[in-house]
Structure 1
């Protein structure tokens, strides 16, 4: 069980790492703090923490670990649904030693890992009572509860507490000798009544771990873990994308693009839907989608014949991909297609500098017509058509209204093609159709700093509204590498300055210690007088008489 608990704590810490960046206010209540493993990262991040731990040995470990931390308040009460004395049932190892876990206000069964031990009387409080007395703030960022089966009672006594995130522990009938005193279904029902409609279930079964979102479907009888409830959908979304993309990046050994991290929670729930890769070129975008979302299909469109044939070969063994040798626009038929020295720059629009190697005729279709033939709803639409992007979106108006896909579209600012689409027109068109700009990625500029082109992520306004934080954040992430480099340079300079100051102060301290050591050494007269005093102290009364005479003679000489 100790290994399983350690694994659960690792999952919690991974989730909490995301919470610390998006949850406000930075205040945590830790009910069942144990040794302070969970609260430690929040203290390091500058949070205020109120920890409740009724087991004296555990409180001593918290004291040893954190000392008198100014932002940590450790209380010895148990937390329940009523105030007053209550019986705390301790757990023992099979050999009789006090167990690290499983101490509870509930009477638990026993397993090979632990057995019931002695009971002690402890003082119990409710969080509501402490809030009413002003001992706890009414609004906190995180309420973490881990009371070995008493979590539901803690929640019942915390009706007035407003927490952005609440975590509770659960286990099923197959563990600890029977049904959990805090049934997971009742916890979900209670918190949904209080407005917590989004939650993550971290489910452990043996050595396996998985995360389910807002669902307990298929929960095994021998499962255990944590439920993490979110009051705001935006916070749930932010934490979910961090967890899922971190897991996917670890699995594929790659850094996940930030735009994909934002899309992931949406795309994860679109099983059987299709993504359109317009301007697929060599298929890297399609391959990225296939790696991260095995439940999605992709239609890749590429009008350049040699590149189309390359795509066919690349995805010949992939049943989820359809490759189409087709150009797209706001009309159908046939059109001139301009080939350039770099195939990636081929377009339905002639280059601004007139550098055309060859002009060919290609078939042109509208995405709305393709959608009517394919029938599958569109989850994501990526458009990279070299200045022709807005006209493609005009040919997909029905898709935008019906499927509400997320859009990843290139915007070109410099005059690279004749009669190319204006980015302002692109943004106005999408705003009229209920889309909001969510991010800019892969931005390119001239050597002088003039913006050339960028990839834009647009999302439906109804989703954008849910993702906007309800409160102003204390910190925002900087995306500009140049700004980050400048900030790092300033930080390094400040650190170097402080290091130099530390070295100077250390050198000055060493000099002063040398001076103090010299001043502390006795003079020759003081040393002789001390030696005489030491010798005569060992003599008899005659010796003391001699000493007194010497002092008398010394005073006489001083007087003269």
Structure 2
């Protein structure tokens, strides 16, 4: 009899450590199914856009779109800009986002040409990924509130944040937008990088009052419901937070409550 990998089966069932592809992670389901079903046009802030894979998913689904891609790493941004800046409805901005505008240091592997692990926390590279040495880049930092005003964006359909542990700080820079009801959906990664930045899922519940929380799975949503400490799982997962107006529309995509 073949042995069953119980841990792998559990992780797949509960949307943990499913990072190999956009299909497994649930990102494809979010864009191809949920967004496509609910919206005819989208306005997206892609924070931590890297080389534009996520933005490219949206480009493939929506003719009517405005996608703002934010990427601080100079080498990665060059590839992002080359790939997407000529696409209609895409704006590429070389900046990190955070709680306040200014400058910060971005860290990456010393020998790298711009990796998806680049972070504003050096320990993400050294502690979590075992890097012996890191390179450092001074990068500009802006806020979501300031950018939304400056770019003339009234509301966001989707705020996606993949900032290697800096997700909560990005939301702190969006307080005015959150309080004004200008963000329909927030999609962020939650993983071991949050140990480094000392940000709990509890903090995301606090900064997004009234939002409903879900974990993405490749075939739907896992409803987290009210905050519970058992959901503090510091391993790769995709969390979707929905505003009070949008949350009722997501019920048909829920495969189970956890």
Bin of the TM-score, shorter chain as denominator length: 0.7 to 0.9
1:119 maps onto 2:136 in alignment: yes
Flag the 1:55–1:155 CA change in 2: closer, same or farther, 3 A. same
Distance (whole Å) between structure 2 residues aligned to residue 242 and residue 177 of structure 1: 27
1:242 maps onto 2:253 in alignment: yes
Bigger Cα Rg: 1
Look up the SS of the partner of 2:176 in the other structure.
coil
Distance (whole Å) between structure 1 residues aligned to residue 97 and residue 74 of structure 2: 15
Residue pair 1:26, 1:141 contacting (<8 A) in 2 also: yes
Residues 500-521 of structure 1, C-alpha deviation per residue, up to 9 Å, x if partnerless? xxxxxxxxxxxxxxxxxxxxxx
- Aligned residue for 1:103? 118
Distance (whole Å) between structure 2 residues aligned to residue 153 and residue 231 of structure 1: 19
- Aligned residue for 2:214? 200
Q: What displacement does 1:219 show?
A: 3.1
- Aligned residue for 2:190? 170
Q: Which runs of 5+ in 2 are unaligned?
A: 1-16
Flag the 1:136–1:13 CA change in 2: closer, same or farther, 3 A. farther
Q: What displacement does 1:4 show?
A: 4.9
Q: What displacement does 1:114 show?
A: 4.6
Residues 382-420 of structure 1, C-alpha deviation per residue, up to 9 Å, x if partnerless? xxxxxxxxxxxxxxxxxxxxxxxxxxxxxxxxxxxxxxx
Distance (whole Å) between structure 1 residues aligned to residue 37 and residue 154 of structure 2: 21
Task: Count residues with an aligned counterpart.
Answer: 229
- Aligned residue for 1:302? none
- Aligned residue for 2:169? 153
- Aligned residue for 1:185? 202
Q: What displacement does 1:20 show?
A: 2.9
Distance (whole Å) between structure 1 residues aligned to residue 49 and residue 72 of structure 2: 9
Aligned residues: CA RMSD: 3.0
Residue pair 1:25, 1:140 contacting (<8 A) in 2 also: no
The structure 2 residue matched to 1:80, chosen from 98, 108, 116, is: 98
Q: Which runs of 5+ in 1 are unaligned?
A: 245-267, 270-560
The structure 1 residue matched to 2:241, chosen from 229, 233, 236, is: 229
Residues 263-318 of structure 1, C-alpha deviation per residue, up to 9 Å, x if partnerless? xxxxx67xxxxxxxxxxxxxxxxxxxxxxxxxxxxxxxxxxxxxxxxxxxxxxxxx
Flag the 1:219–1:203 CA change in 2: closer, same or farther, 3 A. farther
Flag the 1:24–1:87 CA change in 2: closer, same or farther, 3 A. farther
| Correspondence list, 1:377-396, <5 A | none
Residues 50-108 of structure 1, C-alpha deviation per residue, up to 9 Å, x if partnerless? 1101112222332343351121000001111111222112235xxx4346222122333
Residues 429-467 of structure 1, C-alpha deviation per residue, up to 9 Å, x if partnerless? xxxxxxxxxxxxxxxxxxxxxxxxxxxxxxxxxxxxxxx
Flag the 1:4–1:98 CA change in 2: closer, same or farther, 3 A. farther
Select the structure with the greater relative contact order (CA < 8 A; seq sep ≥ 6): 2
Residue pair 1:15, 1:239 contacting (<8 A) in 2 also: no
Flag the 1:177–1:167 CA change in 2: closer, same or farther, 3 A. closer
Residue pair 2:201, 2:231 contacting (<8 A) in 1 also: no
Look up the SS of the partner of 1:59 in the other structure.
helix
| Correspondence list, 1:349-368, <5 A | none
Flag the 1:24–1:70 CA change in 2: closer, same or farther, 3 A. closer
Flag the 1:29–1:178 CA change in 2: closer, same or farther, 3 A. closer
Look up the SS of the partner of 1:85 in the other structure.
strand
Residue pair 1:19, 1:239 contacting (<8 A) in 2 also: no
Flag the 1:75–1:177 CA change in 2: closer, same or farther, 3 A. closer
- Aligned residue for 1:130? 147
1:214 maps onto 2:228 in alignment: no
TM-score, with normalisation over the residues of structure 1?
Answer: 0.37
Distance (whole Å) between structure 1 residues aligned to residue 128 and residue 168 of structure 2: 26
Distance (whole Å) between structure 2 residues aligned to residue 59 and residue 241 of structure 1: 37
TM-score, with normalisation over the residues of structure 2?
Answer: 0.76
Distance (whole Å) between structure 1 residues aligned to residue 148 and residue 128 of structure 2: 40
Distance (whole Å) between structure 2 residues aligned to residue 242 and residue 143 of structure 1: 19
Q: What displacement does 1:22 show?
A: 0.8
The structure 1 residue matched to 2:75, chosen from 43, 50, 57, is: 57
Residue pair 1:77, 1:123 contacting (<8 A) in 2 also: yes
Residue pair 1:201, 1:225 contacting (<8 A) in 2 also: yes
Q: Which has the higher helix share?
A: 1
Q: What displacement does 1:36 show?
A: 1.3
Residue pair 1:29, 1:140 contacting (<8 A) in 2 also: yes
Distance (whole Å) between structure 2 residues aligned to residue 168 and residue 22 of structure 1: 19
Distance (whole Å) between structure 2 residues aligned to residue 129 and residue 210 of structure 1: 31
